[in-house]
Amino acid sequence: MRLLVLLWSLGPLLWQLRTSLLRPEALVAPLREGNPWTLANYQLVLCGDPPFWQYLTNSTLVGLATTLLTLLLAVPCAYGLQKLRGPMRWGVGLALAAAAMFPTVLLFLALLEIARSFGLANNLLALSLPYAALSLPLAVLLLRAAFADLPGELEDAARLEGLGLGQRLRFVLLPLLGPALASTAILVFLASWNEYAIALTWISRSDLLTLPIAIARIGGGSVFTIPYGAFAAATVLGSLPLLLLVLVAQRSIVSGLTRGAVKG
Amino acid sequence: MAARPPFSSLRRQPAVVGLLAVLLLLLLSATGQKALQAVAAEPVPIRVLMPAPLADAVAGPVARFNASGSGVAVEVIRGPLDTETISDLAISSLLLGEAPFDLLLVDVSWLPKYVAAGWFVPLERWFGPEVLEAMEPGARLGNGLGEHLWRMPLTGDTGLLYWRTDLMPRPPRDTSELVAISRDLQRHGRVRWGYLWQGRQYEGLSCVMVEMLQGFGARWWDDATARTQLDSPQAVAAAAWLDGLLRDGVSPRAVANYAENDALQSFAAGEAAFLRNWPYAWREIEKGDGPVKGKVGVTAMVGAPGEQGGGTLGTWGLSLIKGSPHPEEAVAVIRWLTGPVVQRQLALEQGYAPTWSALYDDPDLQRRAPMLAVQRQALQHPQLRPPTPAYAQLSDLLARQVNGMLTGQGGPEQTMGTAQRQSLQVLRSLAGPPGSGPADP
Amino acid sequence: MSAPTVSLLLMLPALLLLASVFLYPLLRYGWLSLQASSVLTGLVPVPNGGANWGRLLDDARFWTDAGQTLRFALCSVSLELLGGLALALLLHRPLRGRGPLRALTLLPWALPTTVMALGWRWILNDPHGPINAAIRSLGGSSYGFLSTPATTWFFVVLADVWKTMPFVALLLLAGLQTIPVDLEEALRLEGASRLQILRRLTLPLLVPYLTLALLFRLAQALGVFDLIQVLTGGGPAGSTESLALYAYLNAMRFLDFGYASTVMLATFLLLLVSLGGGWLLLRRHGQGHATERAA
C-alpha cells in the first residue's frame, strides 16, 4: 500500500530523474537497451544563457521578499482581526476566505495594467507586491487562528505590567507564535515559488524569469522538439530545493494547515 | 473545533532558518557575479526576434555581417517554432512597454494588429517607394498600411497546389478539373484520395478559406466598409465546394483534423493526387526517400471555372520596434537581412521564395532552385488575409464554423450565415459604435 | 484610541493591498466589459453599449470552453476528494516512517505546475515517451495521447489529480486529527466494522473539511490555466481550452481587453454559481448525515 502510494507520487518524478541522466540518443532508443548515463544534460542547463541557477535565484529572491512582506502585513492584521468583535470580524473573515479561494489567473489583466502604469514590470521585488497580496488571506487566517490559541491571560498580564501594544506583540506574543510563523512562511514561500500567471505577464526579460515561466518556455519555446533531456535536468534541479524544504518542514506544513484551515 | 496541532516545539525551526540562509547566500553570490559581467560591451547590439527555423536559416549571413566590422552586433533571438506562440512572446514583451529586442520578424497576418497597437516605427524614411517596386507584386502587399510602410519583406511565400506528375500530364486549371481528375484516378484505383488540405480548426483552415473564397469570386473582407461579407452566394458556394470534397470522398474525412504536416505526410506517402501546402513542403518531399519523390509538380492555386485563383500570401518581414535605442543601426540590419544576398541563400538552402524580381531573373538561381518559376507565378495573384487588426478573432470564428461544417454540424449556408453574424458582432464589440474609434490606425 | 480603532489601524495596510489586488480588478473588469478596448480603438476604452455581453451570449467558443471547464472541474475535483480521502485515511494510520511518507506524498503538490506539466508531456510523448516505449516493446504501435481529444482530456484530469490530491489529503488529515480516538474505540467495542465506523463517525465529522476542500478545489479548478497552457495549449482543436485560457488569449493574443474582461467576469460569475451549488449540495448532504445519526 505504502509502496503503491509512493510509486504514484514519485513515479513521474523518478522518470524525470532517469531521463535527465540519459544521453539524448538513449532517449529515443528502446527501453531495455543499455544505460549510457551522463551528466551532460545538467551541464547544458547550468551553462545555458542565462544559466539555470539564475532562475533559481530569481525565484528565491521573489519568494523571500514575498514571505517577508506577507508576514509583516499579516501579523498585525491577524492580531487586529482576532481582537475585533461583531459583524466586522465576521465580514472581514469571510472576505479573506473568499480571497484565499480566488483563482489568481483572473486577476492578471488588471495587474498587468497596474504594472504598466506604475513601471513595475520586469522588477522582481515589485513582483512580490501582488504575490504578498495573493498569500495574505491564507496567512492572516492561519495566524489569527494561532493568536486565538494563545491564552488570553498572558496578554492581560503583560498589559498590567505596563507593556505597550508593540512591546506585547514583539516580546510576548510573537515568540509564542514561532511555529505558526514558520509554517505560514513556508506556505507563502511555496505559493510564490510556484506562481505562474502573474509572473508570465509581469516579466518579459529572460534573465529575470522565475522558475515556472522559464520551464514553461523550454516547452513552448523550442524548435522542432523539446530538448527533453535538458528539460528533465531542469525539473530535477528545480525540484530539489522543494524536496528539501518539504522534507524539513513537512510537520510545519501539516500543522499549519491543520490549525487554521477550517476556522477560516 | 480548532484542530489541536502537534504543536511540538521550536526544534525544527533552526533547520528552516538554515535553509533560508543558504538560499540567501546563493542569491547574493549570483548578483555579485552579474555586476561583474556588465562591464564589457562595444559594438551597438541589435536584437532580432525570429521563429527558430528562420533564425537558423539566417545564422550564416548574420555571422558574416557581424564579422564585417560594421560596428553593429546582430543578436538573433530564436523564438518558438509555432507562429502563434512567437507572436504571444512578442506581444507579452511589447505590452509591458519595454521590448527586449529592436527588430521583429513579422508574419503578414499580424501586421495590422501590431501597427494598430502602435508598436512599430514607419520605415518610409529609409525605404522609398522605388524599393518595393523592385519586388514581385505579391511581395509588395501586406507591408504598408495607411500612409506608411511598416515592414520590409524577407520571404515571398504563398499557398501552392502540389500535383502528381506520374498520374496526370498537366495540372488542373480550375476546381472542376481538380475534382474530375481526382474522381477519375480514384475510380480506376490509381490513388486512394484526390485532394488533401488543411481542415483542422486553426488558422491554416482560414488560409484555405481565403483561397477558396477568392477562387469562387467571393470576398471575406471589404475594405471600403470595413466589414466581412461571408454570407454572399459566392462565399456559400466556396464553402459548399469544400464540404462536397468530403461528402463525395475526394478528400478523406480525416482532413477535418489535418494541419500542414498531416496532409504533407499522407501526400508524401503517395496516398493522394493533390495537396495544398506552403513552399517548404517541396523540399520535405524531395529530401526524403518516399514513394512520390521526383513525381511532384507545383502550381498556383486554382479557382472555380472562369475565376482567377490564387494562393494565400504567407510572407515574413522585418519591422522596427518603437523605442529601439538604435534605429539607424537597426535599419542597416533590415537592409542587409532583406537584401538579395541573404534571400538568395534562403532560396537555395531552404526553398523560401525571394521577394526581389532580380533574383527571379537570375539564370543561375533559376537553375538551382526549380520551384522559382512557380513561386513567381503565384506571386502575381496572391490573396491577402483580411488586413484588419481584428484578423485573429475573425479567423478563429470562421475556422471554427467551417470545421463544424466539415464534421457535419451544419450546411454551408447556415455555416457562412453564422460566421457572418458572429463576425459583425465581434467587430461591433471591438470597435464600439460606428465612428467612435480612430478611423485609420 | 478605542480597541476597535486600533484593530482597524493594524489591519489597514493588509486590507489596502488586498483591495488593490482583488477588489480593484473586479471593478475594473466591470467597467472594461462595457467598453471597446481593442486594437480597433487603439487600445483606448470607448463605450460600446454592452456589445461585449451580446457577443458573449453568441460566442460558441466561450460556451464550449465553459462546458469543458465545468466538466474538467467536476471530474478532477471529485476524483481528488475520493483519492484524497483514501490517502488521508492511509496517512492517518500509525505507520512506520509516516513522517517521510507524508513529506514524499506531499511533494507533487509542492512542485510548480509547469514543471510537471512538461514532465507529463514527455511521459506521453509520441513515440518516445515511456508509455509509448512500453507499448512498442510489447509489439504495439505508439499512440498520440495528446493529439486525440478524449485521451488528452483524460491526461489533463490525471495530471491535475496527481498534483492536487495530496493537498486535499492534507486538509482531510487535519480533519481526521480532530476526531477523538476514544469515540472510534467505543464504536469498535460495539462491534462496528471499519466501513461502518467510516460511514457513521468519520465521514460525518469530516463534512466541514470536505466542504472546505470541495469549495477551494472547485474554485481553483474552474480557474485552471497553467496546467492546460503548458500541457496542451488548449488543444487539440480547442478541446481542452479552459475559460481562463480563453480570457488570457483574448487579452494577450487578440489584444481585446474589453472582451477579455467580459470573459473573466463571466468566469467569475460562473464560479460563484458553481460554488454556491456545491455548498448547498454538501450542506444538504451533511444534514442528511446528521438526521441519520439522530435517528
Instruction: Break chain B into its structural domains and give their ranges.
Output: 44-156+314-378, 165-312+385-431
Mean pLDDT of chain C: 85
Q: How many CB atoms lie within 10 A of CB A81?
A: 26
Q: Does the structure show a pLDDT above 90 at A88? A: no
Query: Which residue of chain B is at minimal alpha-carbon distance from C253?
Result: B88
Q: Are B163 and B299 a contacting pair, CB within 8 Å? A: yes
Q: Is C36 a domain residue?
A: no
**How does pLDDT run across C38-57, given as a tens digit for each residue?**
888 888 898 988 899 999 99
Contact with chain A for residue B53, Cβ under 8 A = yes
* Measured distance CA(A28)–CA(A15) in Å, rounded: 14
Query: Which candidate, B299, B271, B302, places its Cα nearest to that of B163?
Result: B299
pLDDT band at residue C263, thresholds of 50, 70 and 90?
very high
- Tell me which residue range forms the domain holding A186: 50-260
Residue B146 is inside which H or E element, if any? none
User: Residue C68's domain spans which residues?
Assistant: 53-294
Q: What is the ipTM of this complex?
A: 0.85
| A31 belongs to a structural domain | no
Give, for B408, the enclosing helix (H) or strand (E): none
How far, in Å, are A4, A202, B106, C44 from residue C260 at the CA level?
A: 44, 18, 24, 14
The CATH code of the domain that includes C147 is 1.10.3720.10
Q: Can you give the CATH number for the domain in which A200 is found? A: 1.10.3720.10
Grid cell, residue B438, equals: 480612430
Phi, psi (rounded to 5 degrees) for B267: -65, -40
Task: Return the pLDDT at A50.
Answer: 72
Nearest CA in chain A to C32: A110
At A245, list the grid cell.
Answer: 524544504
Q: What is the mean pLDDT of residues C91-115?
A: 82
Cα(C166)–Cα(C174) distance, rounded to whole angstroms?
Answer: 12
Of A9, A95, A211, the CB nearest to C108: A9
Residue type, A224: F
pLDDT at A106: 92
| Nearest Cα residue in chain A from B19 | A245
Q: Which of C33, C35, C39, C46 would you mutate first to test chain B, the one with the most B CBs within 10 A?
A: C39
> From the list B16, B79, B81, which residue is nearest A182 (CB)?
B16
pLDDT of residue A152: 78
Q: How far apart are the first and last CA of chain C?
A: 53
- Name the band, by pLDDT with cuts 50, 70 and 90, for residue C288: low
Q: Flag whether pLDDT at A28 surpasses 70.
A: no
- Nearest-angstrom CA–CA distance, A255 and A183: 8
pLDDT at C286: 59
Bridge-based pairing state of the strands B227-228 and C35-36: unpaired
Percent helix, strand and coil across chain C, each to the nearest 5:
75, 0, 20
What does the pLDDT read at residue C295? 40
Measure in Å the smallest separation between the Cα of A188 and chain C Cα atoms: 11
Sign of dihedral through CA atoms C38, C44, C45, C49?
A: negative
A22: phi then psi, degrees, rounded to nearest 5: -100, 150
At C84, the pLDDT band (50, 70, 90 cuts) reads very high
Are the C-beta atoms of C100 and A2 separated by less than 8 Å?
no
Neighbours of chain A (3+ CB pairs under 8 A): B, C
Q: Helix B280-287 vs helix B260-268: angle between axes, to the nearest 10 degrees?
A: 40
**What does the alpha-carbon distance between residue C96 and residue C80 come to, in Å, rounded to a whole number?**
25
Q: Which three cell numbers stand for residue B269?
A: 506517402
With vertex at residue C145, the alpha carbon angle to CA C140 and CA C146, rounded to the nearest 5 degrees, is 150
Looking at residue C23, the DSSP 8-state letter turns out to be I
Which bin fits B153, alpha (ψ -120 to 50), beta or left (φ > 0)?
Answer: beta
Q: For residue A179, is it left (φ>0), alpha (ψ between -120 and 50) or beta?
A: alpha
Distance CA A129, CA C43 (A): 26
**SS3 call for B164:** strand
Question: What percent of chain A shows pLDDT beyond 90?
Answer: 20
Alpha carbons C116 and A9: distance in angstroms, whole number? 12
| B308 class by beta-carbon count within 10 Å (0-12 exposed, 13-18 middle, 19+ buried) | middle
- Split into its structural domains, chain C has a count of 1
**Interface membership of A83 toward B (CB under 8 Å):** no
Please determine, looking at this structure, whether the domain spanning B165-312+385-431 carries the CATH number 3.30.365.10. Answer: no
Cβ-based neighbours of C233, under 8 Å, separated by 6 or more: A220
Number of CB pairs, chain A paired with chain B, less than 8 A apart: 104
Name the β-bridge partners of B75: B47
Distances (CA, A) of C75 to B368, C146, C147, C164: 58, 19, 21, 13
pLDDT tens string A112-160: 999 988 888 888 999 999 999 999 998 998 888 888 888 878 888 888 8
Give the burial string for C164-200 (b: 16+ CB within 10 Å, else e). Answer: bbbbbbbbbbbbbbbbeeeebeebeeeebeeeebeee
Beta bridge partner(s), residue B299: B161
Number of Cβ within 10 Å of residue B20's Cβ equals 18
Task: List residues bridging with B317 in a β-sheet.
Answer: B106, B153
User: Per the domain annotation, does A154 fall within a domain?
Assistant: yes
**Nearest chain A CA: its distance from B13 CA (Å):** 7
- Give B44-156+314-378's CATH code, choosing from 3.40.1260.10, 3.40.190.10, 3.40.50.1360, 3.40.50.10490: 3.40.190.10
Nearest to C144 by CA among C122, C125, C118: C125
Within-domain flag for C43: no
Can you list the residues of chain B whose pLDDT is less than 50? 1-12, 32-41, 436-441
B42 phi, psi to nearest 5 deg: -120, -65
Report the side by side order of strands in the sheet with B296-300: B193-196, B272-277, B160-164, B296-300
Cell of C287: 444534514
Q: Hey, is the C-beta of B7 within 8 angstroms of any chain A C-beta?
A: yes
In a domain, residue A16? The reply is no
Whole-number Å distance between alpha carbons of C159 and C132: 17
Q: What are B316's strand-pairing partners?
A: B107
Angle, helices C149-176 vs A228-260, to 10°: value is 30
- Length of chain C in terms of residues written: 295
pLDDT of residue B17: 53
Give yes or no for a cis peptide into B80 (omega within 30° of 0): no
Exposure string (b/e) for C278-291, b if CB count within 10 Å is 16 or more?
beeebeeebeeeee
How many Cβ atoms from other residues are within 10 Å of residue C49's Cβ? 14
Query: Residue B228: beta bridge partners?
Result: B221
d(CA A42, CA A53): 11
Could you give the CA distance from residue B228 to residue B223 in angstroms, rounded to a whole number?
9
C224/A104 Cα distance (integer angstroms) = 10
| C1-18 pLDDT, tens digit each | 567 788 888 889 999 999
Give chain B's count of helices (H) and strands (E): 19, 14
Q: Which of C266, C126, A220, C95 is nearest to B84 (CA)?
A: A220
Q: Does B98 touch chain A (CB under 8 A)?
A: yes
> What's the confidence (pLDDT) of residue A182?
86
Q: What is the pLDDT of residues C221-236, one digit of tens each?
A: 999 998 998 888 887 7
What gap in Å lies between CA B270 and CA B253, rounded to an integer? Answer: 17
Of A221, A222, A255, the CB nearest to B5: A255
Name residues whose C-beta falls within 8 Å of residue C252's C-beta, 6 or more positions apart in sequence: A201, B88, B91, B92, B95
Mean pLDDT of chain A: 82
Residue B126: all three cell numbers together: 529609409
Amino acid letter, A264: G
| B74-107 b/e (C-beta count within 10 Å ≥ 16 → b) | bebbbbbbebbbbbbbbbbbbbbeebbbbbbbbb
Contact assignment for A76 to C11 by CB distance below 8 Å: yes
Mind listing the pLDDT tens digit for each residue in C136-191? 778 777 777 777 788 889 999 999 999 999 889 888 888 888 788 888 888 888 88
In a domain, A35, yes or no: no
Q: Which residue of A has its CA nearest to C220?
A: A103
| pLDDT for A35 | 62
Provide, as residue numbers in chain C, all residues whose Cβ is less than 8 Å from the Cβ of A109: 25, 29, 247, 251, 257, 260-261, 264
Rounded-to-integer distance, Cα B178 and Cα B171, Å: 8
Instruction: List the single best residue of A109, A228, A231, A262 to mutate versus C (max C Cβ within 10 A).
Output: A109
Instruction: Report how far Cα B224 is from the mean position of its chain's Cα atoms.
Output: 25
pLDDT of residue B121: 94
Contact B390 C39 (CB under 8 A): yes
Task: Give every CB contact of residue B221 below 8 A, 6+ residues apart in sequence.
Answer: B227, B228, B229, B386, B387, B388, B394
Indicate the pLDDT class of residue A261, thresholds 50, 70 and 90: very low
Distance (Å) from the C-alpha of residue A35 to the closest C-alpha of chain B?
A: 31
Helix axes B327-337, B340-350, angle to 10 degrees: 50
Residue B7: CB atoms within 10 Å: 11
β C35-36/C46-47 pair status: antiparallel
Q: Are A148 and B123 in contact (CB under 8 A)?
A: no
